[in-house]
A and B are shown apart, each in its own frame.
Chain A
């Protein structure tokens, strides 16, 4: 019998008890929530809320690092208290217990570290960025910010699916509150509603998945679930090629959880909310909509990987959806002009990579990309934010040029360059290593057309490099030209309180270079993004530090200690169900550096990919340089742009016909959804409204009238006359006694 890697792991992986001080990690942000609430009640008009938030988050980060140093490599839980216990028996499935407990293993530690770390940095950034709102929305912003971090920590630290679900809804709520932060702006309100409603679809999937988990496995706690004989039995069955033995219900769980993950992590077809979410303040875009919340879906899949492994369809669907999303979002990103939207689409696209990476059974690649992406994408967003802040909301890359040469913008420019290099996957950056791992794994892993997906992802990598450097070359190089955004009139966003000054006498616009706090955060993040590449070299035989970390968690499924057993695993082409799961065997010998299950042009994919993806990435940058680069960048051939708004690409675009316009209009997906979903729903709702009005209302009114009628009937009894009351009471006693005695005796 084949020994499942998880079975083997389950024997050794005892779940220990974490020390109580770990509780400080989620509760410090909660403290910030309480204190900012008190600030709101006391009508505080100072910057106090920002410093409270920064302090608490920094404290949380320090404790997280302590936890990392002392607890990594182990699986521990710590229970704050039992939230409720609605058990009605001792049997399996009769124990409905919800603990406010936290599960500390390497997977959650990874997320905890970058969530608290980035949140602290971005809170410092926001303390300056949001300055114009001091006394107005400042407290509200930091309240929601701290609440977000608390919810996110509940999500990743919770030791049961219920807490994960609560955290999931909590981050959704905070995301809604913060997207709609400028609630006087109709676009912001619409975007907030869109995000909330689209997420609802995903959340329904998650809710059903969680319920099915309880119904099927009788528990929601990870420790019990992953060690349950039931789940281990399924995994063993799949390993032995008896995938048909896994009940449909167990397979459906992963599918529903996957829908939840797609909603929160903005995957096709539910990705439409994320680009619109950029209406929120930029620190929010950086933290919530690029670095942390949108990776919740990946966390869910990584955390529940054992459950996904027993489902025949879930992971292949994840791979396909991830790849389609990556490609689709990249094509849209290439045609956008709003730099923040470009970053938003690139986030969607990169999330697609991560999902594909998880699905290619290299949780290492997927999660490594989550970590590196968190840093460089946060950096990119914060740089865009600095530009937006300084140019009164200007985000159009046709109206900005040459920031590199402007005084005070050097740190922003360098930060942007580092971020772009990472995103484009230029060799020896962190983004390069993490993306390569996913790409290589696509060719290694046999599956439903995975090598096709590999080529698509490679192509997408080239496109990513193109649109990334399109932004860089347009905005940061070339002649110094700029136009102010529409906010220097002091309408609603920033710029009102003297940040982007307009010299009224002259009509000139003076950009406002970022201050010390924004620059410090950008510099720190730049350094971190560069250093992140080093993570790859920490333990190269396990594909970097992240691989090393994940080996100790349930997200680890590939690089098992049991190579010999896995290597013997033979693909049984006739057993349909086994097909998608054979990957274990192949991935395993791959790890053992044995025969590879896949190859690219007959060579070791991991080695080849270093060169191939570098070529694709550099080609993309070259095209961007040719089309958008400034005159004199290298020679006469490359670049040639002398104005902010005109470049060689304009000529190319003209030849492509309507395609660029379609891409700019996001392939009309929103309109399509509107046509196939919103319009029919509206028609249906009108029909239902009629039915409701005529039929249901009548019935409801009838039933609603009944209590009123009863009430009216009883009301005269309440006459207010004392002796009437006394008589009624005595009479009532008599009547009831009579009835009771007559009926029973």
Chain B
């Protein structure tokens, strides 16, 4: 227990901050309430520092199957989390606070939601970090749900508009469906292998594969769990909710949805697939055929559907929602490719690196949208003030000239998401290609290439509208939001893209080290990844 705690310090830190924020959010003093985002950000910074300091060792026994992944994953969660919390700052209770300050209304703790909002945000990130630490199916399930449940509420309370409520309800019900699916899968895996511990599951699967292949229950369990986790990463066929929910939520929350559940889903997929092991197939370096085919179909459908639907959108939030689906499809290529000896050959390090780059560039792009709001707040039917953010792509016409900071941030982030050479998005996508080729998945890589070309179609709109167009009538209806942190996040996102381009090498090195086995033990399956062909027999002999 004590050993497990040793590297749960980041989660513990976040949990303590959650409790603090929940109380502070109800303070009668506006100044104290305003501390909530600050405390959230500081606790994330502390969690990040703890995460970097963690060095999981085998003796601890609590690490997942990718022990090196822990510090890396938690550090990027903390880093992007800080960006998101800056974006979230001031999102809820804005009208309330203004009316309180103006003396129109009296202090009523029941009407204020900022305490819950930031507490839920921290809860969600706690769950995300716990996902990275998971070593058993039960832990994994609880961590995934801890990640998702708070986001349902956050979507609902993010704006006073009714579409946020609609989005929240949809997200909750469909999320429950997704959770039910992967929980069912987990149960079947337990039935098929007799264990919930990932290390033990790996052992059992290795034995089964050495024999007659996976037994029916295990196989069904694995397939269903992967499909269920597809909900978190918005992969086909579990993607339906994405566009509606992304559009309905306030943009800062949308930015969070693009990063947090996706990261959770990919961490879970990496853990699950490493429990299966990339030692099978014709090459001896692939997942078992059925699993590989499932991920293959999901990857192709996800990236293609995401991109073709994104082309049709005129709403930036929907466009970025579909593009987020497409990005999940790209990353699935890395999952299929599996780990490798060098960075260019390792699909898992490619996914981990891509999560970081995607987190920064998509948060930057959403921050630009969040920074543009209508000149006047409107009062909703329930009497609350609603500050509408930009959504239509018309809003960013001529932005680089009218508001250079926001315009250029959008241009840089969009170019990077497109994977334009010499942006970090390019360095992120490149290893997905190379690892796919190294794994012999040439057709999949070709599909990935075609999809990158289709994606250029709509990303270049996000580049050309701000840069080359004249501001239209619609663009005139928006001003830069008075909340200073939002344009700041846009700028940080753009500068981050540039900085990560310059420091791509060291960051890639970190992502690479995160996948490299540091430990050696017959029960630590990852240690055997380097020599997969020799593995099947000795284990079978046991």
Residues of A within 8 A of B (CB): 41, 81-89, 98, 100, 704, 707-708, 710-712, 714-715, 717-718, 720, 722, 725-726, 728-733, 735-737, 739-741, 743-745
Q: Which residues of A contact B357 (CB under 8 A)?
A: none
Asked if B173 is at the interface (CB within 8 A of a chain A CB), the reply is: yes
Task: Look across to chain B and name the residue whose beta carbon is closest to the beta carbon of A733.
Answer: B227
A81–B238 touching, CB < 8 Å: no
Name the contact of A86 in the complex, choosing from B240, B243, B430, B509 (C-beta under 8 A).
B430
From the candidates A85, A86, A98, name the one contacting B434 in the complex (CB within 8 A).
A86
Residue of B nearest to A706 (CB): B308
**Given A707-B457, A740-B297, 5 other A-B residues pairs in contact with their CB atoms under 8 A:** A710-B308, A733-B224, A737-B223, A740-B290, A743-B293
Q: Are B506 and A733 in contact (CB under 8 A)?
A: no
What B residues does A83 contact at CB under 8 A?
Answer: 502, 504-505
Q: Most B CB atoms within 10 A — which of A81, A98, A714, A715?
A: A714
Closest 9 pairs between A and B when the two form their complex, measured CB to CB = A732-B237, A82-B505, A711-B308, A725-B240, A710-B308, A707-B308, A744-B290, A711-B312, A740-B294
Shortest C-beta distance, A548 to chain B (Å), equals 37
Chain A neighbourhood of B309, CB < 8 A:
711, 714-715, 718
Q: Which residues of A contact B506 (CB under 8 A)?
A: 81-82
Bound-state CA distance A732–B298 (Å) is 11
B243 lies within 8 A of A704 (CB): no
Q: Is B371 an interface residue (CB 8 A)?
A: no
Interface size class of B (residues with CB under 8 A): 35 or more
Q: Which of B301-316 contact A (CB under 8 A)?
A: 304-305, 307-309, 311-312
A96: shortest Cβ distance to chain B, in Å?
Answer: 8
Among B162-180, those with CB < 8 Å from A are 169-170, 173-174, 177-178
Query: In the bound complex, do residue A89 and residue B237 qualify as a contact, i.e. CB atoms below 8 Å apart?
Result: no
Stretch of B126-134, B338-346, B531-539 lying at the A interface: B338-346
* Chain B minimum-CB-distance residue to A728: B240
Contact of A729 with B509 in the complex, beta carbons under 8 Å = no
Q: Nearest Cβ in chain B — how far from A478, in angstroms? A: 51
Query: Nearest Cβ distance between residue B240 and chain A, in whole angstroms?
Result: 4
Query: Which single member of A82, A89, A704, A736 contacts B509 (CB below 8 Å)?
Result: A82
CA distance A100 to B501 in the complex (A): 12
Residue B259 at the chain A interface, CB threshold 8 Å: no
* Residues of chain B lying within 8 A (CB to CB) of residue A707: 307-308, 311, 454, 457
Chain B proximity of A95: nearest CB distance (Å): 10
Q: How far does the Cβ of A153 sit from chain B's closest Cβ, in whole Å? A: 16
A711 to B306, CA, bound (A): 9
Residues on B with C-beta less than 8 A from A720 are 244
Say yes or no for B469: interface residue by CB 8 A criterion.
Answer: no
In the bound complex, do residue A744 and residue B289 qualify as a contact, i.e. CB atoms below 8 Å apart? yes
Is the pair B177, A732 in contact by a Cβ cutoff of 8 Å? Answer: no
- Asked if A729 and B174 make an inter-chain contact with CB atoms under 8 angstroms apart, the answer reads yes
Q: In the complex the two chains form, is B312's CB within 8 Å of A708's CB?
A: yes
B residues contacting A by CB (< 8 A) are 169-170, 173-174, 177-178, 181, 223-224, 227, 231, 236-238, 240-241, 243-244, 289-290, 293-294, 297-298, 304-305, 307-309, 311-312, 342-345, 405, 427, 430, 434, 438, 454, 457, 502-506, 508-509
Contact of B237 among A718, A729, A741, A744 (CB under 8 A): A729
**A733 surroundings in chain B (CB, below 8 A):** 181, 224, 227, 237-238
Please state if B342 and A729 are interface contacts (CB–CB under 8 Å): no
A730: chain B residues at CB < 8 Å are 177
For A41, A82, A707, the residue with the greatest tally of chain B CB atoms inside 10 Å of its CB is: A707
Q: Can you list 30 pairs linking A and B with CB atoms under 8 Å apart?
A: A41-B405, A82-B505, A84-B427, A85-B508, A707-B454, A708-B308, A708-B311, A710-B304, A710-B308, A711-B308, A711-B309, A711-B312, A714-B308, A714-B309, A717-B240, A725-B174, A725-B240, A725-B241, A728-B237, A729-B238, A729-B240, A731-B237, A732-B237, A733-B181, A733-B224, A736-B237, A737-B223, A737-B224, A740-B294, A744-B289
Quote the shortest CB–CB distance from B443 to chain A (angstroms).
15
With a cutoff of 8 Å between Cβ atoms, the chain B residues found around residue A726 in the complex are: 173-174, 177
Q: Roughly how many angstroms separate A686 CA and B298 CA in the complex, as a whole number?
A: 45
Report chain A residues within 8 Å CB of B293. 740, 743-744
Cβ contact within 8 Å between A704 and B457: yes
CA distance in complex: A744, B244 (Å) = 35
A88 touches B223 (CB 8 A): no
Q: Is the CB of B308 within 8 A of A729?
A: no
Closest to A720 in B: B244
Q: Which chain B residue has the least Cβ–Cβ distance from A744?
A: B290
Expressed in whole angstroms, the minimum distance between the Cβ of A581 and any Cβ of chain B is 39
Taking the nearest CB of chain A, how far is it from the CB of B234, in angstroms? 11
On chain A, the residues within 8 Å of B457 by CB distance are 704, 707
Residue of A nearest to B508 (CB): A84
Interfacial chain B residues near A717, Cβ < 8 Å: 240
- Give the residues in chain B near A741, CB-CB below 8 Å: 223, 290
Among B304, B345, B505, chain A packs the most CB atoms within 10 A around the CB of B505
- Chain B contacts for A41, CB-based, 8 A: 405
A737 CA to B219 CA, complexed, in Å: 11
Instruction: Please give, as numbers and ranges, the residues of chain A lying within 8 Å of B289 by CB-CB distance.
Output: 744
- Name the CB-closest residue of A to B290: A744
In the complex, what residues of A have CB within 8 A of residue B224's CB?
Answer: 733, 737
Verify B294–A718 contact, CB threshold 8 A.
no
Bound CA–CA A41/B408 (angstroms): 12
B486 vs chain A, min Cβ distance (A):
16
A729-B237, A737-B223 known; A84 vs B304 contact (CB < 8 Å): no
Q: Find chain B residues with CB under 8 A from A718 CB.
A: 240, 243-244, 309
Establish whether residues B505 and A84, one from each chain, have CB atoms under 8 Å apart when the complex forms: yes
Contacts of B503 in A (CB 8 A): 81
* Cα(A712)–Cα(B312), bound, Å: 8
Q: Are B344 and A86 in contact (CB under 8 A)?
A: yes
Q: What's the Cα separation between A726 and B238 when bound, in Å?
A: 9
Contacts of B236 in A (CB 8 A): 732
Beta-carbon nearest neighbor of A730 in chain B: B177
Q: Which residue of A lies closest to B177 (CB)?
A: A726
A708 to B238, CA, bound (A): 21
A703 CB → nearest B CB, Å: 10
Specify which chain B residues have a CB less than 8 angstroms from the CB of A87 in the assembled complex: 342, 344
Q: Tell me the bound Cα distance from A733 to B344 in angstroms.
A: 32
Could you tell me the distance in whole angstroms from the C-beta of B113 to the nearest C-beta in chain A?
Answer: 24
Question: Which listed residue (B173, B181, B504) contacts A84, Cβ 8 A?
Answer: B504
How many Å lie between the Cα of A726 and that of B176 in the bound state? 10
Kindly provide the distance from the CB of B24 to the nearest chain A CB, expressed in whole angstroms.
34
The CA of A521 and the CA of B86, in the complex, are separated in Å by 49
Q: How far is the CA of A744 from the CA of B296 in the complex (A)?
A: 13
Measured between C-beta atoms, what is the minimum distance from B414 to chain A in Å? 18
Of A82, A98, A731, chain B has the most CB atoms within 10 Å of the CB of A82
A718 nearest CB neighbor, chain B only? B243
B106 to chain A, nearest CB (A): 38
Contact between chains at A88 and B308 (CB < 8 Å): no
CB distance from A85 to the nearest CB of B (A): 6
User: A710 CA to B243 CA in the complex, in Å?
Assistant: 17
Whether A722 pairs with B169 at a CB distance below 8 angstroms is: yes
Q: How far is the CB of A357 from chain B (nearest CB, A)?
A: 36
Which residue of B has the minimal Cβ distance to A82?
B505
Residue in B237, B297, B311, B344 whose beta carbon sits within 8 Å of that of A88 in the complex: B344
Q: How far is B170's CA from A722's CA once the two chains are assembled, in angstroms?
A: 6
Contact partner of A736 among B297, B345, B454, CB < 8 A?
B297
Select from chain B the residue with minimum beta-carbon distance to A724: B240
Residue from the list B173, B223, B231, B238 in contact with A740, Cβ < 8 A: B223
CA distance A720 to B163 in the complex (A): 11
Minimum CB–CB distance from A42 to chain B (whole Å) comes to: 11
What's the least CB distance linking A729 to chain B, in Å?
A: 5
Task: Report yes or no: A88 in contact with B345, Cβ–Cβ below 8 A.
Answer: yes
Report how far A739 CA is from B405 CA in the complex, Å: 49
Q: What CA separation (Å) do A90 and B240 show in the bound complex?
A: 45
Cα–Cα, bound, A98→B506 (Å): 12
- CB B413 to nearest CB in A, in angstroms, measures 18
When distances are taken between beta carbons in the complex, the residues of chain B under 8 Å from A98 are 505
> In the complex, how many angstroms separate the beta carbon of A615 from the nearest chain B beta carbon?
54
Smallest distance from the beta carbon of B341 to chain A beta carbons, Å? 9
Pick the contact of B238: A710, A732, A743 (CB < 8 A): A732
